[in-house]
């Protein structure tokens, strides 16, 4: 068993190039926590260390149930760490393979977009929106986490350092061009596409395909599967547009449209059910159609 101060580290929940996140336990308050610890090999890099601590400060500043909250920060054996809420429902990445129903996928996608909008309202871009950075609470809320790549909107209008995950990264972000809220909207479109299909919208195994994507590029449509409304394909295509101006103007607008489509999909389903008729009624209708046709024919001959 490992321990940092009063925090017991029980199991690794996730890890990346710079840090490890543990599922832990606060032995004094007797409550589960998540503890993020900077990797030992980066502990003496001043720029990485500062970026790690900046993430903790950003998370601490936001008071919203859709963003993971930081409760404590410290250093253990010269490695900084910070302590966060433990979110027990896993991540959105756990829900993409195999994909769930269209209704569940849309509900989760709306939650993701609402969480990202909270960051934008606080004047921040996430710049690494992806399924593993979106946590699911027991009540179904999605919480945004991992602000290691976050940047203040006021600082994002110039040339930026490329950061993020290629499968979910907007083309302008990959090029180091100025970014904005619509860059995160692109990432939300990619997450939504994967929730619906079980795969990212584009193959980016060759980074050049992201850097040189044409303006008329569109992801493979999903409506042909019969489970996705056609207008949802239109929304996904616009959110994944190469040009930022062609995307929904905000994460909130993206969420609003998703909700409208989800409501419309339910209405269409109800209408299909209403069109079903009993065999007896079908025979009666057929007789009436035949009689009307015969009468029309007699009238024309006469």
Catalytic sites, residue numbers: 128
117 with 146: CB under 8 angstroms? no
Inter-CA distances, 266 with 106, 232, 244, 262, Å: 12, 13, 30, 7
Q: By three-state DSSP, how is residue 203 classified? A: coil
Name the residue among 302, 250, 283 with its Cα closest to residue 116: 250
Scanning the structure block, which residue is given the tokens 């930081």?
70
Beta bridge partners of 125: 151
CB 78 within 8 A of CB 227: no
| Burial class (CB within 10 angstroms; exposed 0-12, middle 13-18, buried 19+) of 78 | exposed
Distance CA 286, CA 283 (A): 5
> Residue 37 phi/psi, 5° resolution?
-120, 130
SS3 state of residue 24: strand
Task: Return d(Cα 50, Cα 168) in angstroms, integer.
Answer: 25
Q: Give how far Cα 86 sits from Cα of 10, 67, 72, 106, Å.
A: 12, 12, 13, 25
Taking the CB of residue 4, how many other CB atoms lie within 10 A of it?
18
Q: Which residues have a Cβ under 8 Å from the Cβ of 29 and sit 6 or more positions away?
A: none
């Amino acid at each position: 068993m490992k321990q940092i101060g009063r925090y017991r580290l029980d199991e690794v929940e996730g890890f990346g190039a710079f840090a490890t996140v543990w599922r832990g336990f606060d032995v004094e308050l007797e409550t589960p926590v998540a503890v993020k610890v900077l990797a030992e090999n980066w502990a003496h890099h001043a720029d990485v260390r500062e970026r790690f601590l900046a993430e903790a400060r950003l998370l601490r500043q936001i008071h919203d149930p859709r963003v993971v909250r930081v409760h404590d920060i410290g250093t253990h054996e010269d490695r900084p760490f910070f302590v966060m809420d433990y979110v027990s429902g896993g991540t959105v990445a756990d829900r993409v393979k195999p994909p769930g129903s269209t209704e569940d996928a849309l509900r989760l996608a709306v939650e993701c977009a609402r969480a990202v909008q909270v960051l934008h309202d606080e004047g921040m871009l996430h710049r690494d929106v992806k399924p593993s950075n979106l946590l699911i609470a027991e009540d179904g809320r999605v919480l945004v986490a991992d602000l290691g790549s976050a940047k203040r909107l006021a600082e994002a209008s110039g040339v930026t350092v490329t950061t993020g995950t290629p499968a979910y990264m907007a083309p302008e972000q990959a090029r180091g061009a100025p970014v904005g809220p619509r860059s995160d909207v692109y990432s939300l479109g990619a997450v939504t596409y994967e929730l619906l299909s079980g795969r990212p919208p584009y193959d980016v195994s060759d980074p050049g395909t992201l850097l040189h994507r044409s303006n008329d590029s569109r992801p493979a449509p999903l409506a042909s599967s019969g489970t996705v409304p056609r207008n949802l394909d239109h929304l996904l295509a616009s959110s994944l547009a190469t040009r930022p101006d062609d995307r929904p103007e905000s994460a909130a607008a993206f969420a609003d449209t998703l909700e409208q489509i989800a409501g419309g999909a339910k209405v269409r389903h109800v209408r299909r059910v209403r069109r079903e008729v009993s065999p007896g009624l079908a025979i009666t209708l057929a007789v009436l159609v035949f009689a009307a046709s015969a009468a029309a024919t007699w009238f024309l001959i006469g």
